[in-house]
Amino acid sequence: MTSRTGRRVGPATIERRRVKITAEIATLGLPLPGSLVERSTRCGNTGCRCHGDPPQLHGPYLTWTRKVDNKTITRTLDPAQAERLRPLLDNSRRLRELVSEFEALALRQVENDPAQPDP
């Protein structure tokens, strides 16, 4: 059985990767949800240059955005705050990557099982 990429992925390879992924997850620090995004904004003062033609927006500002109950929550950060949150947000991104790889391994295992339908 070969994977969709055409490379043979046997049970031993799947198990080796599974062990590697779980080991890396075990070393991860806390994963903070969301991401750092640079944003330029308009203020409420219609006479301001940010409402001009062409507009000169304020910023860019670093923001932390995340989804809470399907709504995007945005917090503006000063540089020190951003530097402290960055590693936690990096943990979160890495965790999502590892979970995706983990799920891909499960798909390979199902592909290798002749008793299962093609996933």
Q: Which of residues 39-58 bind Zn ion (CB under 5 A)?
A: 43, 48, 50
Cα 109 from chain centroid (whole Å) = 25
- Hey, what long-range contacts does 110-117 have (CB within 8 A, 24 or more apart)? 111/1, 111/3, 111/4, 112/1, 112/9, 112/10, 112/11, 112/14
**Residues 10-39 vs Zn ion: string with x where CB under 5 A?**
------------------------------
Amino acid identity of 116? Q
**Residues 54-93 vs Zn ion: string with x where CB under 5 A?**
----------------------------------------
**Residues interacting with Zn ion, by CB under 5 A?**
43, 48, 50
